[in-house]
Amino acid sequence: MTGTQRMSDDALGAHYLPAGLPAPAPYPEGLAAEYWEANRRHELLVQRCTACQTWQWGPEFICNECHSDALTYESVSGRGRIYSWERSWYPVHPALQSGVPYVVVLVELADAGNIRMVGNLLGDPRQEVVIGSEVEAVFEDHNDADPPFTLVQWRRAE
Amino acid sequence: MATDTIRGRTAIVGLGETRYYKRGAAPDPEFKMTLDAIKLAADDAGIDVRDIDGFASFSNDRNDPAHIAAALGMKHVGFSNMFWGGGGGGGSGAVANAAAAVAAGYCDIAVAYRGLAQGQFGRFGQGSTSRTVAGAAAFTHPYGLMSPAQTFAMRVTRFMHEHGVEQEALRAVALASYHHAQFNPRAVMHGRPLSTEDYDNSRWIVEPFHLFDCCQENDGAAAVIVTSAERARDLKHRPAYILGAAQGSDFRQAATVHNAPDYATSNFKTLSPRLYAMAGVGPKDVDVLQSYENFTGGVLMSIVEAGFCEPGEVNDFFDLETFRFDGGRLPLNTSGGNLAECYMHGLELITEAVRQIRGTAPCQVKAAVNVSMVTSGPMVQPVSSLILGREPNR
């Protein structure tokens, strides 16, 4: 995919938010495992129906459009536009006591049926955020976590 | 819509509320407060609490009917019901389910109730501190998106973006609730007036929500008694007849990771027409509105989707003058509501809607309120609404 760069490891302090937030895991039934595994190799996958080509996010057990269970994950470019956003000032978790403010964005992916993904907007947490502006996916590795995981984050497009 | 609906066939006849407390300040456990509220509601109606034979609640209330009936000695239980979904989406829905059970003959006297002690059981405004998070929450919690305020702020921001809504519109909702709470001695925020400067200078919780855009976290319990219109006429108070009730959700509103196709919505778009059709009234007939405030932005979208103003009119319409009990075009949250009376998950909005019909509210909008409306739980799935009338066949 384009527009990605490798972030430093946990030890280098390159994470957007402080350590200690819950680590992501697939559904107990295994749903979403492909997505989290692809993140580790810095590939952005989105669920897609092979019967009717509908993109869907978050992952579901069947296609919400045609009800087929022939679902797969497809690689996407990781370029999108900010659909909405928020800047949090109240630490909703003990790990965030030293981490506010921070920005969460909802990103719409034009090349994946306008599905939306949630992530942090990298950069100055007090920056002006403009709905409609272009962003691109960045992979944030948490290699020291047990087990390790990788989050998709977003930065302003070049 | 079916012509033989529950319109006018049942009424709310009893109101019971414990004292309302800041979270953690209640001297009693949640279950004890729930029993107290139900006893108070029965006393208010003038019935023996043991004659209650139907139960309805919402939001996974922890106080289940079997144990309540054992504790209070109900003679039998004919109906017990839980409205699915979280937040306050089921406040009106629980009352409506109680009414439907009475109309259907499952029970004769039903109670809709909510017990909630966030001091005893944990706060809604805090994220989970578990080490891992699975499922849909795995796509939000690791990014620090964990609380209800954060979940709903992005919907509101999108609505404000699409319609050019200013922060002052949100502020008007907060000012109205705090204004009315100053006349209500039961309100937790009684004696704590809010000025425009107080609002503007208050800290952000999550943009666009200041502290005063967010509901309180409280302890207490509330209950309302529902019975048939025939029985209601012989009881102590003027009945508040249930003219219309609706519940539900719009297309794929519960899609995960903020993927509801229509995102900038309070989820009342398909509900509102069904509500008015059953009640046989329209927005212009509504004398007073209680609109659930988890966050002011949800009230804003609820009022638009209930047909009281167009999205493009919000900046002009949303003003304290519009919402005042004394002369406002749309008196709103006249007891102080979730923001300033008590966050009893919106059941306190229903007790206030009934007081307006009875003519006993501290902020009584006029002597004879004919139509009193409640909207419950904006932005959650499902939501519900209720229209009460002074007469069963208005």
Q: What is the pLDDT along chain A (158 residues), one digit of tens a residue?
A: 444 444 445 445 689 999 999 999 999 999 999 999 999 999 999 999 999 999 999 999 999 999 999 999 999 999 999 999 999 999 999 999 999 999 999 999 999 999 999 999 999 999 999 999 999 999 999 999 989 999 999 999 97
Facing A84 at nearest CB: one of B127, B139, B157: B157
pLDDT (average), residues B3-16: 95
Q: What are phi and psi of A149, to 5 degrees?
A: -145, 170
Q: What is the pLDDT of residues B42-96, one digit of tens each?
A: 999 999 999 999 999 999 999 999 999 999 999 999 999 999 999 999 999 999 9
Q: Which of B249, B292, B300, B295 is nearest to B153 (CA)?
A: B295
Domains of chain B: 10-122+214-389 (3.40.47.10)
Q: Which of B199, B241, B276, B292 is catalytic?
A: B292
* Whether residue B393 has pLDDT greater than 90: no
What average pLDDT does this structure show over B332-343? Answer: 97
**Contacting residues of B for A32, CB less than 8 Å apart:** 135, 138
What is the nearest CA distance from B132 to chain A, expressed in angstroms? 4
Q: Is B201 in the A-facing interface, judged by CB distances under 8 Å? A: no
Q: Which residue has the higher pLDDT, A5 or B105?
A: B105
Amino acid at A46: V
Return the residue in B146, B210, B259 with the most chain A beta carbons within 10 A, the one to mutate for interface testing.
Answer: B259
Instruction: Please give the mean pLDDT across all residues of chain B.
Output: 97
- Tell me the C-alpha distance between B142 and B216, whole Å: 26
Whether the upstream peptide bond of residue B392 has omega within 30° of 0, thus cis, is no
- In this complex, do B138 and A64 lie within 8 Å of one another by their Cβ atoms? no
Question: Is pLDDT above 50 for B21?
Answer: yes
What confidence category does residue B2 fall into, taking pLDDT thresholds of 50, 70 and 90? low
Phi-psi region of B144 (alpha: psi -120 to 50; beta: other; left: phi over 0): left
pTM above 0.90, yes or no: yes
- Confidence at residue B375, expressed as pLDDT on a 0 to 100 scale: 98
Dist. CA A131–CA B265, nearest whole Å: 17
Point out which residues pair with B242 in neighbouring strands: B388
- Would strands B132-134 and A23-25 be described as parallel, antiparallel, or unpaired? parallel
B292 has catalytic annotation: yes
Chain A residues in contact with B127 (beta carbon < 8 A): 92-93
- pLDDT tens-digit map of B187-212: 999 999 999 999 999 999 999 999 99
- Identify the residue among B139, B156, B159 best suited for mutation to test binding to A, counting A beta carbons within 10 A and taking the highest: B139
Is B343 an active-site residue? yes
Identify the bridge partners of residue B372 per DSSP, sorted by sequence position: B288, B388
pLDDT at position B210, please? 98
Is there a contact between A86 and B205 if contact means CB atoms under 8 Å apart? no
**How high is the pLDDT of residue B52?**
98
In B, which residues are within 8 Å of A58 by CB distance? Answer: 136, 139, 255-257, 259
Q: Do B129 and A94 touch (CB under 8 A)?
A: yes
**% of chain B beyond a pLDDT of 90:** 95
Expressed in percent and rounded to 5, the helix, strand and coil fractions of chain A are 10, 35, 55
pLDDT of residue B1: 60
Please compute the mean of the pLDDT values over residues B241-258 and round it to a whole number: 98
Residue B141, CA atoms < 13 Å, CB-side half-sphere: 22
Mutation target among A47, A85, A90, A103 for the B interface, most CBs of B within 10 A: A90
> Hey, what are A94's tokens?
């003990």
Interface touch A115/B133, C-beta < 8 Å: no
For residue A21, the chain B residues in CB contact (below 8 A) are 141-142, 144
Q: Which residue of A has its CA nearest to B134?
A: A25
C-alpha distance from A125 to closest chain B C-alpha (Å) = 12
CB contact under 8 A, B154 and A84: yes
- How far is it, in rounded angstroms, from Cα B236 to Cα B62? 30
- In chain B, the percentage of residues whose pLDDT exceeds 70 is 99
Element (H, E) at A156: strand A149-156
pLDDT tops 80 at residue B122? yes
